[in-house]
Structure 1
Amino acid sequence: MARLLMFVQLKTGFDIDRGPSWIGWVDFNRTWKTARFHGRELRRRRGFDSNFYDVETDEAFWLSGPKRDRTDTRYGPVTTDVDVDAREAYEAFLATGAAPGRERE
């Protein structure tokens, strides 16, 4: 499994880009079609406003790499929680370079 530092936002039940969001570790399977985050199994979906869904609840999520300028949401200021176990890697990414798992990009 590949483990990447990602921006994750819950889309279901909220106005555009107003759902809770996190910076944290996401584990992907070898085909990149399944992701695991906060105990959820997320599967890839093609869509306009979401690109993954929870297989148990069908809730929609947006996953993407974090942005260095912290403008991860598209339409407004939303506080993004940084997971405790990802904080050090995220702060290093903001200060210096590529996100862990993306050193070659």
Structure 2
Amino acid sequence: MYIENKSVSMNGPARIGRVTFSKTGKSISYGGRTFQSLKGSGFKANFFDVDTRERFWISGPRKDGKDRLYAESSAPIEIDPDVAEGYWRVIRGKRSE
């Protein structure tokens, strides 16, 4: 999934990583954090961290790699090592970089 911290700025720190969905599907876990949906009430964010209340944009990664809301941003998007090969091969249709 694409995970971007929107509490820092509109182009906050972002990464591609593997998330876990709760049994009910009401929350997402990643990196020791738990996120819940803002249920449409967020501005440029769709989830929040249940502990810190920070807002995030979490979505499936795009095939064209333009995951950021503001495409003109050149801020890097980190890719977790455990998903890098699958991301480049399956999502982006390229060999691993």
Measured against the shorter chain, the TM-score band is 0.7 to 0.9
| Residue number in structure 2 paired with 1:26 | 19
In structure 2, stretches of 5+ residues that fail to align are none
Structure 1: 4+ residue segments shifted above 4 A: none
Match of 1:102 in 2: none
Q: Distance in 2 between matches of 1:82 and 1:68?
A: 14
Greater mean deviation of Cα atoms: 54-63 or 86-95: 86-95
Name the Cα RMSD after superposition. 1.3
Structure 1 position 78, deviation (Å): 2.3
CA distance in 1, matches of 2:8, 2:15: 17
- In structure 2, the partner of 1:95 is 93
- C-alpha displacement at 1:49, in angstroms? 1.1
> Whose strand fraction is larger, Structure 1's or Structure 2's?
1
Deviation string, structure 1 residues 17-74 (Cα, Å, up to 9, x no partner): x100000001011332100011101111132311111111000011011011110002
| Paired letter, 1:37 | Y
| TM-score of the aligned structures, taking structure 2 as reference length | 0.84
Residue 80, structure 1, aligned to residue 77, structure 2 = yes
Alignment length (residue pairs): 89
1:36 aligns with 2:29: yes
TM, length-normalised to structure 1: 0.78
Identity %: 36
